[in-house]
Amino acid sequence: MTTIGDERDETERVNRFLVGLARGIAGALLFCLPMLMTMEMWFLGFYMERERLLLLLLLNIPLLLGLSHRIGFERTATWRESARDAIVAYGMGVAASALILLLLGVVTPGMSPREWMGMIALQAVPASIGALLGRSQLSMSDDDDSENEDKTDEPPKTGYATELFMMAVGALYLSLNLAPTEEMILLAYKMTAWHALSLLLFSLLLMHGFVYALAFKGSHSLEQGTPLWHAFIRFTVPGYIVALAVSVYSLWTFGRLDDLAATEALLTIIVLGFPAAMGAAAARLVL
């Protein structure tokens, strides 16, 4: 028999979920708007290979599932609930992308289904990530959060694989923003080998500084007695490798590595690896 207390709890749960949806819509628009207004992303929806686009859409599903399990629209206890949030986030990404592209006049009624479907599907990937990031970045401290979390400045404990996963999410988000642009190839063309080596080392130092050395709010602190090189070898270097791997995938997805010589391709990867590394480092702080 349903009691008044049960009905109140269910109402509060629904309200929290609806608030989470509102934050998700705001997050989708906030984090995806630069890409929605970028010309390269529009044209890629026309001509990028459909096999690569399909692979990106499929890979986004487990990414959203893992992200939802950590910072979904509401606290989830099971993977089934996380999967529900991930599906909702994907749908919100599609809806937000379609709405903005229509309002901007980028998608028009005269377009063929291949054109507008490709544009919306491509934009829905970063928009869906933004929808889930909305809970982490746009939420206030809810009553249920305060009951279940200690009010400390220490970041939540996570496993090593989860740390790498969150770094991959941050790297992918910034990579999707910049990989389609011609500037990545232009910068690689202007760089020398010394420029590339310097940028690589600078990326590593910034990653390490973001998380450990500069003591930003939310940054990770080392246990007393732990040598500085331990975190650098265990987290910073693998994180940068993850950022480079994500950069390779992003450039390949958008066809930016096609017909490039090995040296030019390597330089382009290092160039994109710089913002990808920053995204990976920032993800450890904010997620």
Q: What is the DSSP string of 99-165?
A: HHHHHTTSS-TTS-HHHHHHHHHHHHHHHHHHHHHHHHHH----HHHHHHS---SSPPP--HHHHHH
| 210-245 pLDDT, tens digit each | 766 554 444 455 555 556 666 788 888 998 999 999
Separation CA 256–CA 237 (nearest Å): 25
pLDDT at position 154 is 47
pLDDT at position 241 is 95
pLDDT at position 236 is 85
Please, which residues have CB within 8 angstroms of residue 173's CB and are 6 or more apart in sequence? 31, 126, 129, 130, 279, 283
Separation CA 212–CA 201 (nearest Å): 16
pLDDT at position 75 is 58
First-to-final CA distance of the chain: 40
Break the chain down into helix, strand, coil percent, rounded to 5.
75, 0, 25
pLDDT at position 14 is 73
pLDDT at position 2 is 54
pLDDT at position 73 is 56
pLDDT at position 148 is 46
| Long-range contacts, 69-73 (Cβ 8 Å, 24+) | 70/162, 70/166, 70/287, 71/132, 71/133, 71/135, 71/136, 71/287, 72/20, 72/132, 72/135, 73/17, 73/20, 73/21, 73/23, 73/24, 73/132, 73/135
Which residues, given as ranges, of the chain have pLDDT below 50? 140-156, 215-219
